[in-house]
Amino acid sequence: MEKRQVYVVAGAIIKDNKVFAAQRGNKGETKFKFEFPGGKIEPGETPEQALARELREELKIEVEVHELITSIVDEYPTQVLHIDTYRCTLISGTPTLTEHIAMAWSDKDELDNLTFSKADDPTLEKIKKEYLK
């Protein structure tokens, strides 16, 4: 059986030399892992539009979406996730959890204390190297 291909966008919101991450709840392949929040691209949306919408829905914030940081493919038993992570700037609002169970603003060193999916390693390394001092 062919695996379902899922295309998602994620936002690395960077502010004051820290990056925002949110912890997933008790569901899915990556339960309790931290992630850069985002979601699926709806038909007719650009990745940037989808990301701004998802962050508005999930965290009640407005962001400006900037450049693509990484494109990653992560394979699971039932699906293949294509994850494009973009750098974002917080324009307004304070992140409010509606789907996640915890959140953190982390500097370069603090990121190592959070448990992300293995697939996020290249994104984490690039953010630590190029976006956080």
Do 36 and 11 contact (CB within 8 A), yes or no? yes
Domains recognised in the chain with CATH numbers: 4-130 (3.90.79.10)
Structure tokens at 93: 């609002």
User: Residue by residue, what is the 3-state secondary structure of the chain?
Assistant: CCCEEEEEEEEEEEECCEEEEEECCCCCCCCCCEECCEEECCCCCCHHHHHHHHHHHHHCCEEEEEEEEEEEEEECCCEEEEEEEEEEEEEECCCCCCCCCEEEEECCCHHHHCCECHHHHHHHHHHHHHCCC
pLDDT at residue 1, rounded to an integer: 75
The tens-digit pLDDT sequence of the chain (133 residues) is: 799 999 999 999 999 999 999 999 998 878 999 999 999 999 999 999 999 999 999 999 999 999 999 999 999 888 999 999 999 999 999 999 999 999 999 999 999 999 999 889 999 999 999 999 9
| pLDDT of the residue at 102 | 98
Task: Specify the pairing of strand 4-15 against strand 79-92.
Answer: parallel
Give residues with Cβ within 8 angstroms of 71, minimum separation 6.
82, 83, 84, 85
* Residue type (1 letter), 45: E
Residue 122: the pLDDT is 96
Look at the block and give the residue holding tokens 């169970």: 101
